[in-house]
Amino acid sequence: MAPGARSGRAAPPGARSSFLSSYTVFVSALVALLFLAALFAFITSNSGDVNGAEERSLSEPGALLRPNYFSRVTSTALQSDPFRTRLDLIYRQAADHVALVNAYATFARRAKIDAGRVLRTFEDLVGCLSSLLARIPPADNAAALDDEALRALEKELKDRLKLARQLVAETKESFDTQIKIQKLRDTVFAIGEQMNRAKKLGDLASRIAAGSTPKSLHCLAMRLMEERVAHPEAYAEEKGATNHPDLANPDLYHYAIFSDNVVAASVVVNSAVRSAAEPSKHVFHLVTDKMHLAAFQVWFRRRPPTGGARVEIRSDDFPFLNASYSPAVRMGLPVLDHLKFYLPEMFPRLNKVLLLEDDVVVQRDLSGLWWADLDGKVNGAVEKCFGSFQRYSRYLNFSHPAVKDKFSPRACAWVYGVNVFDLDAWRREKCTEQYHHFQNLNEDGTLWKPGTTLPAGLLTFYSLTKPLDKSWHVTGLGYNPSIGQDLIDAAAVVHFNGNMKPWLDIAMNQYKHLWTKHVDADMEFLQLCNFGL
């Protein structure tokens, strides 16, 4: 049997071609269905994400500032929708201008422009735009708004945006200027605070420097004392020196100087003698503490004043200075600072005494002060008040009844440094007793600041002070760098009152030469102690 007979009858060619065509169509349709299913799943998931994002944005603070009217990405959104596009444009413009107006309102709050008028205008405009945003329907309910209502929204938005742009344009330049001014004010204020802090620190450092003893001065005092101890016979007090008739002669010119600085005291004596017309008529009574007494004795024995002037050196341990008599001693105050209130007891046979501080330099003959007419008053001094400054109110506590009831806060203050005291008038007016009275009242420090003696002098010699011509005494060389050279040249005495003393490193260089030219630079002990001049 032939092979064809064993396997059956063969398929015709037309039937085989029809089967292959049907199989191809089936596979293509299956692939298309799978693609459409995947596309539908992708679109559905994206739509869910967009809805979730919208819900989250609406729940956050400040949602009105974010446009939440976004067209959803669906298969129907692929077609053009002019109505929805117009709504979306309205929302975006309104939200953008709300953010802009809010930003300018913030600037207005910071700059405080026009007392809040512009700020209120901005806040009203934000409220109008926010209400307009609230009237726009959500995307899934856009059909609720017809074309006429949409045109009304567009017209209202146009008016609001025009007002917002006009307001921003009008205030933009003012905002820029005001913000710059405010920044400059803040900068100036910050720099001013820094300057105040630096000034306070500088004042503190100056007070510390003024109250301390420089190493060179300490060295000088120690070397002079060493010299006194090593050679006692060379510096023994001459017989009858303490009872010399010139020391109590009222016809001579007597000066009282209280100091523990031997160099400063020597400058006062040297400058006064060099400026005197008749040096032999001038007597200087130097009073120091026990610690520096030997140093003073050695210095003025080695460097006595020229021209026949006489110097008396005394310690501050006067018999009348005891706790039962002197409030200063009882309170433990520095005796050397308060001795100026006991001049009649110190010089019982004198009629007048000229008190000089140890930080002054004499530039003119002072004998004329002894002939000044004090009109029966006790103290002759230069007044320092001008305008409302340097009045009694600066130094005294006028809330205290003892001060308020008896003294005027507008009374003109004077300064120590150059003072002519009529000791006869002092005794008559009992000024020392007055000083004791006020010092006892101030034991708790309620009348004036403790540690200063000028307030006690202002109270003691109130209505008992005769003003002197200002050329006798020019002050401020220890703190004021702006004193005119003509005032200095015309002054009889220049005073280095303040913290910048001429023997300190912090002294002002423009004035220091007035003091250093009277220092005896040839003194060997100065050279041994590296005293800078």
Q: In this model, does residue 67 exceed pLDDT 50?
A: no
Q: What average pLDDT does this structure show over 408-422?
A: 96
Q: Where is average pLDDT lowest: 174-183, 254-263, 500-509?
A: 174-183
> How many CB atoms sit inside 10 A of residue 124's CB?
12
As a whole number of Å, the end-to-end CA separation of the chain is 149
Which secondary-structure segment (H or E) carries 83?
helix 82-111
- CA distances in angstroms from 471 to 123, 398, 480, listed in the order given: 68, 31, 17
DSSP 221-268: HHHHHHHHHH-GGGGPPPTTSTT-GGGG-TTSEEEEEE-S-HHHHHHH
Q: In this model, does residue 223 exceed pLDDT 90?
A: yes
Q: How many residues are recorded in the chain?
A: 533
Q: Which residues pair with 253 in a beta bridge?
A: 282
pLDDT confidence bin for 44, thresholds 50/70/90: low
Q: In this model, does residue 335 exceed pLDDT 70?
A: yes
pLDDT of residue 400: 93
pLDDT of residue 386: 82
Q: Where is average pLDDT lowest: 11-15, 94-98, 320-324, 474-478?
A: 11-15
Q: In this model, does residue 341 exceed pLDDT 80?
A: yes
pLDDT of residue 129: 76
pLDDT confidence bin for 33, thresholds 50/70/90: confident
pLDDT of residue 249: 95
d(CA 445, CA 333): 13
Which secondary-structure segment (H or E) carries 512?
helix 509-516
pLDDT of residue 117: 64
Q: In this model, does residue 162 exceed pLDDT 90?
A: no
Q: Please state the separation of Cα 386 from the chain's center in Å.
A: 25
- In the chain, % of residues over pLDDT 90: 53
**145 close to 87: Cβ distance less than 8 angstroms:** yes
pLDDT digit string (tens) for 476-489? 999 999 999 999 99
CATH 3.90.550.10 for the 215-237+244-528 domain, yes or no: yes
DSSP 338-383: HGGGGHHHH-TT-SEEEEE-TTEEE-S--GGGGG---TT-SEEE-B
Using the CB atoms, write b or e for 438-452: b if 16+ within 10 Å: bbebbeeeebbeeee
Q: What average pLDDT does this structure show over 373-390?
A: 91
pLDDT of residue 283: 97
Q: In this model, does residue 70 exceed pLDDT 80?
A: no
Which secondary-structure segment (H or E) carries 150?
helix 147-211
**Full-model pTM:** 0.65
CATH 3.90.550.10-classified regions of the chain: 215-237+244-528
Q: What average pLDDT does this structure show over 291-317?
A: 94
- In the chain, % of residues over pLDDT 70: 79
Angle CA 415–421–424, to nearest 5: 150
